[in-house]
Amino acid sequence: MENNQPLVSIVVVSYQQVDFLKECIESILLQTYKNIEIIIADDGSTDRSPELIRSFAAANSNIIPILSPVNKGISINLNLGMEQCRGQYICIIAGDDIMYPSKIEKQVAFLNENAEFELCYHNVDVYDEDTKTILYKWMDKFLPCRNAPDALFRAAWNLKKNNRKTPSGSWFGRASYLKYARNDWRTYSSHEFIFTMGMYAAKPDAKWHTLTEVLGMYRTHSKGLSKNNGKWQKTAEEMSVCYSLARVKFPQFTRAINNEEAFWWFMELLYNQVPGEYRGIYLKEFLRKYGLGRYLYLQTCRVLLSDKLKAVRKLVKEPA
């Protein structure tokens, strides 16, 4: 029966995640869908991760370890894992996330039955390791992505709920499509933008689907990428590099990339993510680069979201 099922390649990307990696690997081995190969790409961890991976590989013939001797960055590490995939389908998961038992089975079933779709995501529990609580379900906050533009170009200038693909643990797609994607070594926390652009450029009309069922857990913690991007200046520099690379690699999408970059800066300035000592400089740069209309809109939104205005609204609604 197993040989009649398509092979699924599961890429686990890991770095310094020994506290969570065992649980991640075990959740994969417990999948109800059995025709899988597990490529564990460890990016030069100096904790006990390599030892743990070797022990799992010794006990499970379908585990393929890729143990980098030095840390090369998540972009190169994911590329190395993707290059080893032999399956008809490819699944990607971070070493600190968890699959629920029927995840692979249900995603395979969907793509087998819906040939017009290239990717299939699913809803996830967002779990905070530091407080040991589930914060929310992903689709309670974001609309599902129907295609690559939904994931790439999320500029919602009206500040309404927008599209956003679920985290890496829910990624699942046809190998023939996913292998168009490749990370650029010059990106780190923003690597998924270039990765997704590769698929979009190769097949602009590809359809995506998100299952509403919760089939995995995305873990946030103080050591994780989502909470450890370093100083704001480093993040801003990388985002500028990311958008610049995208324009060079995919010039046909320059206009959309420019709009997305403008919105990134808009959100950073709107919610005061920019450190105070830089804020005046970047406000002037925003005006110079994106024009008076967007600058005035930014300032209007800042006033509407200000604590003072919220206090006035409260007084009006609840008079003494």
Q: Which domains does the chain have, with CATH numbers?
A: 2-227 (3.90.550.10), 232-307 (no CATH)
Residue 295 pLDDT > 70: yes
More confident residue, 152 or 316: 152
More confident residue, 142 or 262: 262
Which of 38-47, 217-226, 265-274 shows the lowest per-residue confidence on average (mean pLDDT)?
217-226
Residue 156 pLDDT > 50: yes
pLDDT value for 106:
98
Residue 247 pLDDT > 50: yes
Q: For residue range 5-34, what is the model confidence (pLDDT) as tens digits?
A: 999 999 999 999 999 999 999 999 999 999
pLDDT value for 166:
74
155 φ/ψ sector (left φ>0, alpha ψ -120 to 50, else beta): beta
Residue 319 pLDDT > 70: no
Confidence of residue 167 (pLDDT cuts 50, 70, 90): confident
* High-pLDDT (> 70) share of the chain, %: 92
Residue 316 pLDDT > 70: no
Give the Cα separation of 10 and 104 in Å (integer). Answer: 10
Determine phi and psi for 271, rounding to 5 degrees: -100, 20
Residue 229 pLDDT > 70: no
pLDDT value for 61:
96
More confident residue, 171 or 309: 171
pLDDT value for 305:
84
Mean pLDDT of 2-6: 76
CB-based burial label for 30 (10 Å; 0-12, 13-18, 19+): exposed
16 φ/ψ sector (left φ>0, alpha ψ -120 to 50, else beta): left
Which of 104-113, 179-188, 288-297 shows the lowest per-residue confidence on average (mean pLDDT)?
179-188
Confidence of residue 309 (pLDDT cuts 50, 70, 90): low
Give the Cα separation of 147 and 135 in Å (integer). Answer: 26
pLDDT value for 63:
98
Highest mean pLDDT pick, 28-42, 122-136, 148-162, 189-203: 28-42
pLDDT value for 2:
54
Neighbours of 257 (CB within 10 A): 23
pLDDT mean across residues, the chain: 90
Q: Give the start-end residues of each E strand in the chain.
A: 8-14, 36-42, 63-67, 89-94, 98-99, 117-128, 133-137, 172-174, 207-220
More confident residue, 230 or 176: 176
> CB-based contacts of 57: which residues, under 8 Å, 6+ apart?
40, 63, 64, 65
Mean pLDDT of 248-268: 96
Give the Cα separation of 265 and 240 in Å (integer). Answer: 10
Mean pLDDT of 235-248: 93
Give the Cα separation of 12 and 28 in Å (integer). Answer: 10
Residue 186 pLDDT > 50: yes
Residue 78 pLDDT > 80: yes
pTM of the model: 0.86
Mean pLDDT of 160-170: 76
pLDDT value for 227:
42
- Return the CA Rg of the chain: 21
